[in-house]
Amino acid sequence: MDIDRTAKTLPHDGLGPAPVPEAAMSTSAMSTSRRALLAALRSQSQPTTLVALGGATGLHVNTVREHLAALVDAGLAVRGSSVPDGRGRPAATYVATGAEHALVSSEYTGLAAALASTIRRTSSTPDRDAAVAGAEWGRDLVRRSPPAPEHDADPRRHVVTLLAQLGFAPQPGGQPSTTLLTRCPLLTTAQAYPDVVCAVHLGIVQGVLDADRADDVSAELFPFSDPGACRLELSRGDGAHG
CA 166-72-159 angle, to 5 degrees, is: 30
Residue 236's pLDDT is: 85
Report H helices in 153-238: 156-165, 187-192, 194-211
Q: In a structure prediction context, what are the per-residue pLDDT tens digits for the chain, which is 242 residues long?
A: 445 466 555 566 678 887 766 555 556 567 888 888 988 888 877 788 899 999 989 999 999 999 998 888 777 787 877 655 556 667 788 888 754 433 445 556 777 888 899 998 999 999 999 999 999 999 998 888 766 655 566 788 889 888 887 878 888 888 889 999 988 888 888 999 999 999 999 999 999 999 999 999 999 999 999 999 999 999 987 544 45
**Which of 96, 80, 93 is CA-nearest to residue 51?**
93
Residue 16's pLDDT is: 84
Residue 22's pLDDT is: 58
Cα-based distances in Å from 90 to 61, 93, 145: 18, 9, 24
Pairing of strands 77-81, 92-96: antiparallel
Whether 168 contacts 231, CB under 8 Å: no
Residue 153's pLDDT is: 67
Please state the pTM of the whole predicted model: 0.67
Residue 237's pLDDT is: 75
**Rounded to an integer, what distance in angstroms lies between the CA atom of residue 44 and that of residue 72?**
16
Whether 83 contacts 72, CB under 8 Å: no
**Which of 50, 49, 167 is CA-nearest to residue 98?**
167
CA 153-214-177 angle, to 5 degrees, is: 70
Q: Which residues are registered as beta bridge partners of 77?
A: 96
4 three-state secondary structure:
coil
Residue 28's pLDDT is: 59
The 3 state secondary structure assigned to 96-145 is: ECCCCCCCCCHHHHHHHHHHHHHHHHHCCCHHHHHHHHHHHHHHHHHHHC
